[in-house]
Structure 1
Amino acid sequence: MFNDKIDRDDKYDPTLSLAFILLKQLGTKVDELFIRGGIRMNRTKGIMLIGTTLVFCLIVGLTIYDWVRFQRIEGGSIFSMFLALSFFFKILTWDNHDGSDEKDELDRHITTQSAKISYFVLMILSGLILFISEGTGDLNEINNIPLLIVVCLTLVILPITEFVYSRKYR
């Protein structure tokens, strides 16, 4: 099941058992998650995954407490949750929170495709959030002008960026 290549500091670590329990509860197969390219996850990555998971759970818990106790959700809590979630997925994908240091052709392809797909997903979600939060599909009845501007900017950011980038090669 495992390849013979095992990281030097990849010995049994009881702190990883928390990650296994959390992933089992989420229905994720541990073998699929912790093995990348036939090499088992090293201890540092496991600790970073556990840390970001705990931070995320702590922020979610505090946000739920504030919501139940004080009937409010703070913007800083929402931002912090998404930031912790971002770190979690970067660690899963690239083995560190900064992204891959050495990018081969496959890594560059993954980054390019995921950036373009995420741009379109963000465009659709921002439009949905605008229309759902305003409760109308009529653009003339929208009162949240800053959010409308953000949605409109999502329509032009990619074409403008492609234009500027194409000028570099012409």
Structure 2
Amino acid sequence: MTKKQKRLVKFILWICILAVGGKITFTYFNSHTIDSYGLFTISIFIASLLELHTFGKTSYLGGNNVEEQKDELEEHIVKVSSKISYFALMVVVLIILAVSEYGKGEEDKTNVPLMLVFCATIVTLPFVQFLVSKKYK
């Protein structure tokens, strides 16, 4: 991807982020609801923008060429950041669970879907490590 193409993609991503962010804000102020599809869309755009800034390519938007090889630094960054992000996600889900459970003052009701997500974050890394170890044994 040339510098000119990267600048164009960055510009388009920023326009998309601002447009979807504006729609989410407009929807929230008009109907007092948060557009979950808008949040999903904006997260993809932000992830693509961050990946473009980090590695100079975007795999979320189909810009990843199969023939391109990852260099050692990129592989190291991906390996270290994936484990850190796993534990960061676990902490974020725990904080959201705690706020949703005890923020309302209703300690009798449990947000079961959110509790299932938290439990899944606890089990995911060991399960994936188990599957990968079976591949190499």
Q: Same fold (TM over 0.5)?
A: yes
Structure 1, unpaired ranges of 5+ = 1-6, 10-41
Q: Which residue of 2 aligns with 1:118?
A: 85
- What is the CA-CA distance between 1:83 and the residue it aligns to? 1.2
Amino acid at match of 1:78: L
What is the root-mean-square deviation in Å for CA atoms of aligned residues?
Answer: 1.9
Q: Distance in 1 between matches of 2:110 and 2:45?
A: 31
Residue 48 (structure 2) pairs with residue 87 (structure 1): yes
Give the alignment of 1:146-157 within 5 angstroms: 146-157=113-124
- What is the CA-CA distance between 1:143 and the residue it aligns to? 2.0
Q: Distance in 1 between matches of 2:101 and 2:42?
A: 24
- What is the CA-CA distance between 1:57 and the residue it aligns to? 0.7
Q: How many residues align?
A: 128
Give the percent of matched residue pairs that are identical in Structure 1 and Structure 2: 28
Residue 71 (structure 2) pairs with residue 104 (structure 1): yes
Q: Distance in 1 between matches of 2:28 and 2:124?
A: 35
- What is the CA-CA distance between 1:43 and the residue it aligns to? 0.6
Amino acid at match of 1:43: K
Q: 1:126 to 1:85 in 2, by over 3 A?
A: same
The structure with the largest helix share of the pair is 2
- What is the CA-CA distance between 1:142 and the residue it aligns to? 4.6
When normalised by structure 1's length, the TM-score is 0.69
Amino acid at match of 2:51: K
- What is the CA-CA distance between 1:141 and the residue it aligns to? 3.8
Q: Which residue of 1 aligns with 2:11?
A: 50
When normalised by structure 2's length, the TM-score is 0.85
